[in-house]
Amino acid sequence: MRTGRTERKTAETDILVEVNLDGTGTYDISTGIGFLDHMVEQFSRHSLIDVTLKVKGDLHVDQHHTTEDSAIALGQAISNALGDKAGIGRYGEAHSPMDETMARVVLDISGRPYLVWKARFTQEKLGEWDTELIEHWFHSVSQSAGLTLHCQVLYGSNNHHICEALYKGFARAMRQAVELDARKGGAVPSTKGQLGG
């Protein structure tokens, strides 16, 4: 089993993350931000990556540190679980429809973090979560997991649907990318012999 664990403790947040890339999509999520919990649950269920994420953050200040640090810790746990990335599919892509919304997420577990973000929200909050933090969550997880990540909303009007389509698309793309391909014979999927740099 490919598992990873991250513990991150600062003056702003206290976080525990555990992931199993070869799981069944079971989750135990508690960040203190209801809508963020819901989105990480969607990520786990649709990627089939088991995720435990426990966060105690300074929500009396605002939601920024909890959002950012939880994404950093999740990305680090995924990176730890991937190890040298031998035998993985590496690339993943998904079109994710949700009612009137269509999102596209394409990624490469390249070791070269980069986010292209083509999505916008027309309301300031989803539940109590500031929508401006959604892009920041994806940026933080791409940086710490070493993902080249392209997220685009092709069309859509409902803010809840837009956000959920992006997370489900991310999940399905990650499922493809982390899966082991027996035809690769355990080789690192790069002519350089390593990923990153």
Q: Per-residue confidence of the chain (197 residues) as pLDDT tens digits?
A: 899 999 999 999 999 999 999 999 999 999 999 999 999 999 999 999 999 999 999 999 999 999 999 999 999 999 999 999 999 999 999 999 999 999 999 999 999 999 999 999 999 999 999 999 999 999 999 999 999 999 999 999 999 999 999 999 999 999 999 999 887 776 665 545 555 65
| pTM for the model | 0.93
Backbone phi, psi, residue 101, to 5° = -105, 145
Q: Give the CATH class of 3-184.
A: alpha beta
Could you write out the DSSP letters of every residue in 82-127? HTT-TTB--EEEEEEEETTEEEEEEEE--SS-EEEEE---SSSEET
- 191 sits in the region (left: phi over 0; alpha: psi -120 to 50; else beta) called alpha
Edge-first strand order for the sheet with 50-57 is: 3-9, 13-20, 50-57, 27-30
Domain ranges, ordered by start, for the chain = 3-184
How far apart (Å, rounded) are the C-alpha atoms in residues 133 and 125?
10
Tell me: the pLDDT tens digits for 162-184?
A: 999 999 999 999 999 999 988 77
